[in-house]
Structure 1
Amino acid sequence: MDIVQAMKVFARVVETKSFTRTAETLNMPRGRVTVIIQSLEAHLNTRLLQRTTRSLNLTPDGSAYYERCARVLADIDDIERSFLDKKRSPRGKLRVDMPGALGRLIVMPALRDFHKQYPEIDLRLGLGDKSLDLVQEGIDCAIRIGTLQDSTLVAKRVGVYQGVTVASPQYLRNAGTPRTLAELANHRTLNYYYGRSGRTMSFTFEVDGKVVEIRMHGSIAVNDAEAYLVGALNDLGIVQGPRFMALPYLESGALVEILSQWKPRPLPISAIYPHNRHLSAAVRAFVDWIAKLFHNSPLLSSTPETDARCGPASIDAEDADAVDLAGDEAAPIA
């Protein structure tokens, strides 16, 4: 039995809910479809479909088998396209996920250029901080911040995240400007908490090449990076967020950088994707494009100085899986 053909026939039966329509779309006799499904069930020693004169339904085993078949057949299509399309421009559907603020402020304004270069790529861009399993969710590529340790994923560094510690001028007039890290104990913050675990982010500073973590006091917490900065703009306290988001407010004077001699450690920004996507021309095109985009952005580009300082994110062991797959616990950027 040709198992790949059997999987294709079975998947088409599930999708069309009809042996007759399956035969028509695959250009084969209806009896051949029946024989292939019966042979597949005998090969697997399980019933995949419940058939009556009026309905066609999946069994529990059939449902599980169909999900696996769909992924395998999609992988086969990807592999074939990766070789057939070598001399053609990248094309097809591409699903990408990334932190919301990074997507809205940096990527979205440049997408016209991406579409101009790759008009045949049908891009679906997901923005948010929800931790997602790339394989289970069918995501081709994700942009994540922080240390990535999941060996089932391929990772390529495409940029560097730089943080900054800021507060509003009014807050500093009322509470005073801290001159040392120890003085932060006398100040408050608008806390940032991670949506997946609910854990509150600590401030981190590089001191003599080592990372110092400081837990700040605050009675309000948000899990959105833009709301986090808005809180600082409205005098709710000191925050530590992405420099690329804070820069317009720093330039206008709406926010003031403090403790600049002790900066947060830079974190790697990576494009990650399942091993079976590394041959996809569309994935390669997107990763190369976004690496160039970040390289041309001074606040996200990798330099010898940031590379020397760039280290793994300070993550509790219980949060490691979230960072491996999503990176949403490395920085307030969703």
Structure 2
Amino acid sequence: MDSIYGISLFVKAAETLSFIDVARTTGLSASAVGKSIARLERSIGVTLFRRTTRSMTLTSEGEIFLQHCRNILEEFHIAKQKLDHISEEPSGPLRITLPLVGPLFNPILKEFISTNPNVQLDVHFSDHFVDLVEGGFDAAVRIGDIDDSRLVRRHLGSFRMQVVASAKYLQARGTPRTPQDLSNHSCLLYKYPSSGKFEEWPLPDWRKITAGTFSHYTVCNAIESLLFLAESGCGIACLPDFLVKRSIAARKLVAVLEDYESPARDLNILWPPGQYMTTKLRRFIDILTETLIM
């Protein structure tokens, strides 16, 4: 197994040409990565990298070895997955970090727990990006663009933000026709718990509008509470379309400013590359993709 791990480190180093990058993704030190590569070179009697103080490149032997190592790792992972199918039920801890949208994920968590009773699920809801390796997480679901090319990702779906209010509120205060009309309304604003910043509404001149003075506004860092307040006629909110879909269908909410369509936001699940995907993680991803309603 140590040989497989050494080969895995070599493939990462060959793809990034940086021991520091490999160290960052594996939790090792750059020195430990270098020593592992050196042991591998000694065991096969070949120099795999040309290293200088400024750069690192593969030797011709290293290029050939890389191709075979990729095949070895692929076959190893396939073999492990086949054995996993006939092994015992998945068990042990599974750490997942999710965005602060409980209503979207609660049915998924319920389904996973009921079908995988031996897995100790540890769920961390957060509105900021956490480092999966440093945080000890097996996977993360994230909203928006992903800058970290080190992570493997699977696209789960897309959604848009929607401006909504109750019919009761609109009858009492009138319906805004333009974004500028919001300055005369009670707005329900979301504040990110980690940064304290307000969620920007996807409307033209939003910053100019908020630079002025709303007639009244409420700030909250819980999206479920904003939904409740909007349904209760306390003001106008901007919420994900998957969260308000049922409320609109039940006529608890009405969509406003529909001429100003917001850009789609992607939802992805990510996990560290180059590591064997356990059965419990694969089952969580399968349930997530099958159950997620957007």
* Fold in common (TM above 0.5): yes
Q: Distance in 2 between matches of 1:278 and 1:178?
A: 53
Q: Which runs of 5+ in 1 are unaligned?
A: 4-42, 44-78, 206-211, 301-334
Residue 123 of structure 1 is matched in structure 2 by 121
Which letter maps to 1:282?
Answer: K
- What is the Cα deviation at residue 267 of structure 1? 0.8
**Could you report, residue by residue, the CA deviation over 1:77-134 in whole angstroms, capped at 9, with x for unpaired residues?**
xx896575254366233211212434xx343334454356545544323334355322
2:120 matched to 1:148? no
Task: Say whether residues 1:245 and 2:243 are aligned partners.
Answer: yes
Aligned match of 2:87: 88
RMSD between aligned residues = 3.3
Cα distance in structure 1, aligned partners of 2:114 and 2:229: 38
Contact 1:141 1:272 in 2 (8 A): yes
**Quick one: which amino acid aligns to residue 237 of structure 2?**
V
Q: Which runs of 5+ in 2 are unaligned?
A: 4-34, 36-76
**Cα offsets for 1:290-314 (capped at 9, x unmatched):** 11222xx3xx1xxxxxxxxxxxxxx
Secondary structure at the counterpart of residue 148 of structure 2: coil
Instruction: Give the conservation status (yes or no) of the 8 Å contact 1:203–1:213.
Output: no
Q: Distance in 2 between matches of 1:234 and 1:113?
A: 30
Asked if 1 retains the 8 angstrom alpha-carbon contact of 2:104 and 2:243, the reply is no
Of residues 206, 210, 217, the one that matches 1:214 is 206
Q: Provide the residue aligned with 1:258 in structure 2.
A: 256
In the TM superposition, what are the counterparts of 1:94-109 in structure 2 within 5 Å? 94-102=94-102, 105-109=103-107
User: CA separation in 2, counterparts of 1:202 and 1:188?
Assistant: 16
Q: What is the identity, as a one-letter code, of the residue corresponding to 2:94? A: L
Q: Is the 8 A contact 2:108 2:287 kept in 1?
A: no
User: CA separation of 1:112/1:230 partners in 2, compared to 1, >3 Å: closer, same or farther?
Assistant: closer
CA shift in 2, pair 1:200/1:165, >3 Å: same
Cα 1:195–1:276 change in 2 (3 A) is farther
Cross-structure match for 2:177: 179
Q: Which residue of 1 aligns with 2:17?
A: none
**CA distance, structure 1, for counterparts of residue 136 and residue 205 of structure 2:** 36
- Give the residue type in structure 2 aligned to 1:261: D
CA–CA separation in structure 1 for the residues paired with 2:205 and 2:224: 23
Does the 8 Å CA contact 1:161/1:267 hold for their aligned counterparts?
yes
Contact 1:89 1:120 in 2 (8 A): no
Structure 1 residues 1-334: aligned runs within 5 Å: 84-85=83-84, 87-88=86-87, 91-92=90-91, 93-102=93-102, 105-111=103-109, 113-115=111-113, 118=116, 120-129=118-127, 131-205=129-203, 212=204, 214-215=206-207, 216=210, 217=214, 219-277=217-275, 279-294=277-292, 297=293, 300=294
- 2:123 alignment partner, SS class: strand
Task: Provide the rounded CA distance (Å) in 1 between the counterparts of 2:218 and 2:112.
Answer: 39
Distance 1:284 1:277, change over 3 A: farther
Q: Is the 8 A contact 1:134 1:141 kept in 2?
A: yes
Relative to 1, partners in 2 of residues 1:94 and 1:237: Cα closer, same or farther, differing over 3 Å?
same
CA distance in structure 1 between the aligned counterparts of 2:89 and 2:81, rounded to whole angstroms:
9
Q: CA deviation at 1:162?
A: 3.0
TM-score for both structures, normalised by structure 2: 0.61
Distance 1:227 1:116 in 2: 27
Contact 2:108 2:288 in 1 (8 A): no
Q: Distance in 2 between matches of 1:240 and 1:198?
A: 17
Aligned residues: 215
2:27 aligns to what? none
- Taking the aligned partners of 1:135 and 1:126, their CA distance within structure 2 comes to 14
- Partners of 1:156 and 1:254 in 2: CA distance: 34
Deviation, structure 1 residue 280: 3.0
Contact 2:165 2:253 in 1 (8 A): yes
Measured at CA, do residues 89 and 118 of structure 1 come closer, stay the same or move farther in structure 2, by a change above 3 Å? farther
